Structure 1
Amino acid sequence: MSGKHTIDDIARLAGVSKATVSRVLNHKPDVDPNTRQRILRIVEEQGFVPSITASGLAGGRSRLIGVLVPSFTWPFIPDVMRGIAEVIGQTQYELVLYSINDRLRENNRTSVIDRILATKLTAGLLAIFPGMTSPHLGRLFQHDFPTVVIDDQALPPDTPWVGANNITGAYTAVSHLIKLGHRRIAHIPGPLKLLCSRERYQGYCQALEEHGLPLDPDLLIEGDFQPKGGRLSANKLLNLPAEKRPTAIFAGNDQMAYGVLAAAEERGMRVPGDLALVGFDDISTSIHVRPALTTVRQPFYKMGQCAIEMLLSALDAPRYPIAGKPFTPFLPASLANHEDGLEIKNANGPEPIRVYLPTSLVVRASCGSPYPFTVPITATPPK
């Protein structure tokens, strides 16, 4: 045999029907074990690679799932993708990754999605932090195309959504600093146009209010989620007169916290001796900076796992179309035993489901504790 082999070639060599070969390649159980082994041996010997697209079309449905990512360089993307990939590895589906760069204009972003859909290769879409494309994804879902969103820049769109409980995470981080004796606690939020920045700021305010501390506008300097922005904001805070200068800083993400560490080092300040510091995210490098960063851990792996399970539940659900009602994913099996701090909205309602996963405070050296430990976040801040 020469050239590209087909399923007909494998069937002829194995002395079986094409349907039998198809059942083996699709891991169906109703095949004689000896026949299965013979077919698999021939597949390996001939170097046969089955077409995912063709097998999907033969079964009446694509076996490809599109995953939209904002950028492969974002530090949390590998953990989210690991959660997605480990679930997909137990199914017959495969992933197709698309990166929608923030530099693209809004109409170009939506046209990318339209081109993906026009190929009719993907059975559904999983969108990570889609930003400006969220309304477009919402329209897709309303028109019965299975779609799930992981986190976002604005309020959850009209699609099933998975994210972290930012308010409770920030509230717990600031409460921890207060319990350590700090009273002048500054906050460097990310861009306040983003939902997560506003939610973390809300948790910061709620912690101060509950403990009877005033909200000082001089201790709030907006950052940009980058180390440089954290450094610039920290310098402004540390330039305040001694009586107004913060003794602790809550940074809106870990990368800005790195900038705070750089600013403190330039001034000869000791962290945590002269300045306590807490970040948000617990990306992989945060345990390796010195001092190791106390931070709020986002469940990035769990986000990916939960979101792909929700999408798969929609893909595998019986198709009973109801006029004006898009398919609604089921609650993921991984959330069957509700964790403390987990919030689920619209689980049985007419609106798309919203899942807010709990965070945890990882206490390391940057806020005064030489021994690392993790504090599960179970309390909900006051409304």
Structure 2
Amino acid sequence: MSERVTLASVADEAGVSLSTISKVLNGRADVSPDTRDRVERLLHERGYVRRGTGRAEAHAELIELVFHELDPIWSMALIGGVEAVAKEHGLSVVLTVNGSRHEPDPDWIDGVIRRRPVGVVLVFSELALEYRERLQARAIPFVIVDPAGDPSPEVPSVGSANWSGGLAATRHLIELGHRRIAAITGPDDMMCSHARLDGYRSAMTSAGLPIDPDWVRWGDFHLDGGRDRARELLALPEAQRPTAIFAGSDLQALGVMDAARAAGLAVPAELSIVGYDDIPFTRWVTPPLTTVHQPLRRMGEEAARLAIRLNREPAASTPRMDLATSLVVRESTAPPPVE
């Protein structure tokens, strides 16, 4: 069936003109929400996918990279990865900041449809079904770079091995001789927080070590959250106070260092600390931070490559990739003090 016949059929069924269908397809704002929803639903139900005679006709020569916030530290690694791959393919990168950590706001989808990029890379935990359907109807591929969540099985994604990272960090502390090990993970509504914490729990359990409920704290992945949760941990009675803390992000680990200094504890002689991410300056802090390396730049690279590949040839199944994490041992960890 030709594109015009398909659009004419949808227009007839929706009770609108072909020009209204065109406005919806191109993300124009001068269409009522009810009409837009009705047309979008019919386009999806009829399996309409826009097709062009070539990429240059159908898409602008760019990749759109979407964050909910620009962290000046780890965001740059992802941006660098996407930008490097885009350059290899003669593409530019458009950077958009929009939405919450879970998904972009509704106004974003109209803009990306107007821009018609070769592909979209989103640093979110999820993409709503409605947005997926609208992008798929216009043959705009999308990939979630997922350092934080667990996207739906139908969503192409690039993530990292969060559970293995938490396991490796905790095992390192156990091998040094620590028995009272605390964990400050991320927000309770993010899957990576749970995965890293599950890795911690698995390491402790397999070593036959008890986990005091007071040793598990939920943070926010930011410095202040790490500092505040560490103050609570270090205020525990001496016999219960941890000798080591696994922080679910490097920023939280730096907050733990600050809390340790304020409490008069030497790192690592009196408190060992392990972070997560391996952001660039962790090797320059005092002491240099032992951490779990999360390959953020490569995650950006692989997501961009996947988006470009899906633009050229849709995949038969949903591609998902989890990149390995690795422990980087520096000077913030040591055997526990002798009691």
1:158-177 to 2 correspondence within 5 Å?
Answer: 158-177=154-173
Query: Which residue matches 1:91?
Result: 89
**Deviation string for 1:187-229 (max 9, x for gaps)?**
0111121011010001001111111112221111211111111
Instruction: Tell me which of 325, 332, 338 is aligned to 1:359.
Output: 325
What is the CA RMSD across the aligned residues, in angstroms?
2.2
Distance 1:57 1:209, change over 3 A: closer
Query: Which residue matches 2:133?
Result: 139
CA shift, 1:59, in A, is: 4.3
What is the rounded CA distance, in whole Å, between the counterparts of 2:328 and 2:130 in structure 1?
37
Query: Which residue matches 1:8?
Result: none
Q: Is the 8 A contact 1:264 1:270 kept in 2?
A: yes
Query: Which residue matches 1:64?
Result: 62
Counting matched residue pairs gives 280
1:118-197 to 2 correspondence within 5 Å?
Answer: 119-128=114-123, 130-131=124-125, 133-140=127-134, 142-143=136-137, 144-151=139-146, 153-157=148-152, 158-197=154-193
With structure 1 as the length reference, what TM-score do the two structures score? 0.68
Query: Which residue matches 1:114?
Result: 110
Q: Is the 8 A contact 1:159 1:352 kept in 2?
A: yes
Q: List gaps (5 residues or longer) in structure 2.
A: 1-53
Distance 1:133 1:109, change over 3 A: farther
Which of 272-281 and 213-222 deviates more? 213-222
Amino acid of the structure 2 residue aligned with 1:366: S
Amino acid of the structure 1 residue aligned with 2:285: V
Which of 146-155 and 355-364 deviates more? 146-155
Query: Which residue matches 2:199?
Result: 203
1:1-383 to 2 correspondence within 5 Å?
Answer: 59-102=57-100, 109-117=105-113, 119-128=114-123, 130-131=124-125, 133-140=127-134, 142-143=136-137, 144-151=139-146, 153-157=148-152, 158-317=154-313, 327-328=314-315, 351-368=317-334
Distance 1:58 1:180, change over 3 A: closer
What is the rounded CA distance, in whole Å, between the counterparts of 1:120 and 1:88 in structure 2?
16
What is the rounded CA distance, in whole Å, between the counterparts of 1:58 and 1:141 in structure 2?
18
Q: List gaps (5 residues or longer) in structure 1.
A: 1-55, 318-326, 329-349, 370-383
CA shift, 1:65, in A, is: 1.9
What is the rounded CA distance, in whole Å, between the counterparts of 2:215 and 2:244 in structure 1?
10
Percentage of pairs with the same residue: 37
With structure 2 as the length reference, what TM-score do the two structures score? 0.77
Distance 1:263 1:315, change over 3 A: same
What is the rounded CA distance, in whole Å, between the counterparts of 2:77 and 2:226 in structure 1?
24
Q: Is the 8 A contact 1:169 1:200 kept in 2?
A: yes
CA shift, 1:289, in A, is: 1.4
